[in-house]
Chain A
Amino acid sequence: GENVEQHPSTLSVQEGDSAVIKCTYSDSASNYFPWYKQELGKGPQLIIDIRSNVGEKKDQRIAVTLNKTAKHFSLHITETQPEDSAVYFCAASIDRGKLIFGQGTELSVKP
Chain B
Amino acid sequence: DGGITQSPKYLFRKEGQNVTLSCEQNLNHDAMYWYRQDPGQGLRLIYYSQIVNDFQKGDIAEGYSVSREKKESFPLTVTSAQKNPTAFYLCASSISSRGSSNGPKHFGDGTRLSIL
Q: Which residues of A contact B (CB under 8 A)?
A: 4, 6, 9, 32, 34, 36, 41-46, 49, 51, 89, 91, 93, 95-104
Q: Which residues of B contact A (CB under 8 A)?
A: 4, 6, 31, 33, 40-45, 48, 50, 56, 58-59, 90, 92, 97-98, 101-110
A residues less than 8 Å from B50 (CB atoms): 97
A residues less than 8 Å from B41 (CB atoms): 103-104
Chain B's nearest CB lies how many Å from the CB of A21? 13
B residues less than 8 Å from A36 (CB atoms): 107
Given contacts A96-B101, A97-B31, A97-B50, is CB(A104)–CB(B40) below 8 Å?
A: yes
Contact of A97 with B48 in the complex, beta carbons under 8 Å: yes
A residues less than 8 Å from B45 (CB atoms): 98-99
Given contacts A41-B109, A43-B92, A97-B48, is CB(A4)–CB(B42) below 8 Å?
A: yes
Contact of A45 with B103 in the complex, beta carbons under 8 Å: no
A-B contact count (CB 8 A): 69
B102: contacting residue among A9, A93, A100, CB under 8 A: A93
List the 3 closest A-B pairs by CB distance, nearest first.
A43-B107, A101-B42, A97-B97
Given contacts A43-B90, A43-B108, is CB(A98)–CB(B42) below 8 Å?
A: no
Contact of A44 with B102 in the complex, beta carbons under 8 Å: no
CB-based nearest A residue for B43:
A101
Contact of A103 with B103 in the complex, beta carbons under 8 Å: no
Q: How far is the CA of A99 from the CA of B105 in the complex (A)?
A: 11
Contact of A44 with B101 in the complex, beta carbons under 8 Å: no
B residues less than 8 Å from A104 (CB atoms): 40-42
Chain B's nearest CB lies how many Å from the CB of A30? 11
A49: contacting residue among B43, B56, B92, B102, CB under 8 A: B102
A residues less than 8 Å from B110 (CB atoms): 41-43
Chain B's nearest CB lies how many Å from the CB of A75? 14
CB-based nearest B residue for A97:
B97
B residues less than 8 Å from A49 (CB atoms): 102
B residues less than 8 Å from A6 (CB atoms): 42
